[in-house]
Amino acid sequence: MISFKNKKIVIVGASSGIGKAIASIVSVQGAIIYLVSRSKEKLLKVQEELPGESHVFSMDMLDDDSVNQTFAAIGSFDFLTFTAVADETKLMTPIKTMSNETAQRGMEKFWGTFNVARAASNYINKDGAMVFTSSMAIYRPSKNGASMMNAASAAVAVFSKALALEIAPVRINIVAPGVVATGVWTEDQKKGYKDWAAKTLPVGHLGSAEELANAYLSLLTNPYMTGSVVTVDGGLTLV
């Protein structure tokens, strides 16, 4: 397996949740980390806790100038993880009353993935790898107003698979998370999901950011994996 020692890793969505957990793990393993999200303040707090070398870049994934400038400033790199999303769960709306604006915001995750993948493709080393983020809901969509959120995740999965062919030998894989205790949920929602997971999921507990982070890192470092969608959902697709 490939080591992270002295490898450059760009983490888009590093200020919270899965991205923050990825940063903690690879910092201990000697990676050179580029922490990326909108909030410089939040990223500096994450940086304070990292033992190794890291650099902070404030970037809006929806602004292609901001994305292109960030990747030009970072230059060549080896690995990338992308977990950025904003207001995803707040935008859940029944189709009968969904506004155009809400529908378009529901696809932000896809457009962020597109902007980042386009810029990153120009700078990633040939033996590098990227992991983008879908959702287990592409296999089991929910009926609670998440139609656009689910569609964005499906778009990310197919787009990423196409890139795995187009920019090979760079490897591209996709993680499809289940319910995970991160910034997409409020503290009350996390409490509710904790009880639900204990009763419902085969693994008997709610997913943690660290458990997800390990799946992303495994995909980055396995030289025989590309174009795969890996579900990490505690067995939710089975129940």
Q: Which residues are near ligand NAP by CB under 6 A? A: 13-19, 37-39, 42, 59-62, 83-86, 88, 109, 112, 133, 135, 153, 177, 179-180, 182-184
Q: Shortest distance, CB of residue 189 to ligand NAP, whole angstroms?
A: 9
**Nearest distance in Å: CB 5, ligand NAP:** 25
Q: With respect to ligand NAP, which residue has the nearer C-beta, 39 or 104?
A: 39
- Number of other CB atoms surrounding residue 57 within 10 Å: 19
Q: What's the closest the beta carbon of residue 70 comes to ligand NAP, in angstroms?
A: 10
- Residue in this structure with the two tokens 């990747």, named with its chain if needed: 71
Is the CB of 41 or the CB of 127 nearer to ligand NAP?
41
Query: 186: buried, middle or exposed (CB in 10 Å: 19+, 13-18, 0-12)?
Result: exposed
Rounded CA-CA distance 196/208 in Å is: 14
H or E segment at 177? strand 171-177
Nearest approach in angstroms of CB 220 to ligand NAP is 16
CB-nearer residue toward ligand NAP: 2 or 89: 89
Of 2 and 208, the one with the shorter C-beta distance to ligand NAP is 208
144/190 Cα distance (integer angstroms) = 17
Question: Which among 175, 54, 167, 55 is positioned nearest to 120, based on CA atoms?
Answer: 167
Question: Measured from the CB of residue 72, what is the shortest distance to ligand NAP in angstroms?
Answer: 17
Other CB atoms within 10 A of residue 229 CB: 19
Nearer to ligand NAP, 49 or 127 (CB): 49
Between 84 and 229, name the residue whose CB sits nearer to ligand NAP.
84
Q: What minimum distance in Å lies between the beta carbon of 168 and ligand NAP?
A: 24
Residues paired with residue 11 on neighbouring β-strands, in sequence order: 35, 81
Least CB distance to ligand NAP at residue 77 (A)? 17
Pure H helices in the chain = 17-28, 40-48, 64-74, 100-106, 108-121, 147-166, 187-200, 209-221
- Closer Cβ to ligand NAP, 128 or 177, answer by number: 177
**Contact criterion met (CB below 8 Å) for 84 and 109:** yes
Distance CA 180, CA 211 (A): 9
